[in-house]
Structure 1
């Protein structure tokens, strides 16, 4: 039996998704991540075989019937309509064969009742299957709208800007969620390549609205602000203006951690302004350096505290190196003992990476191995590699 996609009414032979898919320069959540694992499709068959063996080998008759009934119900919940009907018919035929082997077909009333009960179970399984499929289609519609909203609010960055190859990923903590409060952007400007990665306090549509304001302001101001300090001021101005229209709690407590970057046209260095965000990493060959700011800045939206914003700092960007920016969904991922994930330690020695998507692939898989299960927070990743040759491909 093929794996069943609960978002459609058809079968699919595709394997269960990994939770992201490549799209242009970046990677985003894909509906393939909602399919059942392939082994699930074999569960009803295994239960039917188990029921037959139990009936044949058990000293008491028909103890395996419970497994047969359960197999039909499980098929209705997990498999397609066609496979549910096949499972129901198979169970009725198996039961009829067992009754014949036991010499019970002469008792017409008891045989009819037994087979009718199994047929009724099959009808229930079909009903369950239709309910699951209907809700799956509704969820698929919601997901398609969410994906369209994500592409509108957080479009993928260009695959290449001058000598820089670019890749990005947004991975929601929950499979059903496609959008949230993490953001990234890369833009070619008169001052060089400017970039942003940010994490909005809070979740839900309120955070998505702030992301939209932040990305919109960055698109406009990145071309106009003469330096990163002025760019940060303009972004904060846009956020405060948006916050003035929101609830009092958001006005008093809302903030955005952000990391602003600027890479000149020759790409020999990177200027960074850290506004309370996790530090980025520089991967060069097999080495990984954490670009910790000498003076951490305050998050955007907190200028009312009267603390001046930190000054940008400059770091070398060697040919072939990759600048890796992440949100706290990466750095605050925990293993089973509660230990935080440390990208510098975990990625050291795994290079060199020729392309930024290779860094992202390695990082995401390692975070998933580290957590061993669902994460508590979304994560956004932005990677830029200073290439040494012409245009690159995957």
Structure 2
């Protein structure tokens, strides 16, 4: 302040329009909650809704963002500093609902960071609780995604739309489920959130939790009545997702709860196809132990052994062969697993298949042998 007072107002006014790294002085004063200097800058030139050059942040957004993690300030002092800065900006006409393309509104920012004190202040000042950012995400989506349960509770108590949808039609429950925030999921379900809501791909919260391997969240959703065999646009069930991502414990849980082990997606791929393609050996073992059809065919008549061979998943190939998979099965082009492995240059898988009796001179519909495939691709 002493340094600021050295300069005449007209000179300060001129410097207020000078940028440093895309930021103007009013942005920097707001970001670090230097409210005494901020008050002087506003009196010289009121530009409280000025946006930064690159990210379009307003002073209010930066005040709420609060990057100050100094241990010298306790939580109470920090909150007080934020309050004074936010109040000052709002008093002088800062637009509380202006949105940044990436951060959203000040309420989005505070909710994303779980700053309940600031959320309460902004709501008292008439911030739009259901405002949407570029992706149609509300502050409730943000708090849910990061698992800020107390912030979620606060927003719901103040009337936030529990089933609001973003551009992907994901609800806050989708966000919480995908990130495994079990207590937040519990809260949503107690408040009446739609447990089987669909996103654009017809994925439910159970699909999300299963895909990411959040076992306890999956357990909770199932206990609360989630549809265990719900299908997305590709006809994939939550069990497909868990198998594809190798989430063995979730696969076990879903099977124990009665999920269909031989369900097929739009390409007629089973769970065993998914796990074999991705090389999830333990999941393949589990599915086989539970009775999965080892020679099931997709629309191209490819078996799980075709998938594992094509991707060079040697351990899975060994397991499937040990369990009796048809080594010379043909797809619609009459390609065998050996064709697939040769085409991709998976030498160890080729060796294994040959050791187990694969037909070295089998021909596809073009009368190409595995040697043709390997030669054509320089393997």
TM-score by length of 2: 0.27
**Greater Cα radius of gyration, structure 1 or 2:** 2
Give the number of the structure with larger relative contact order, counting CA–CA contacts within 8 Å between residues 6 or more apart.
1
Higher helix share: 2
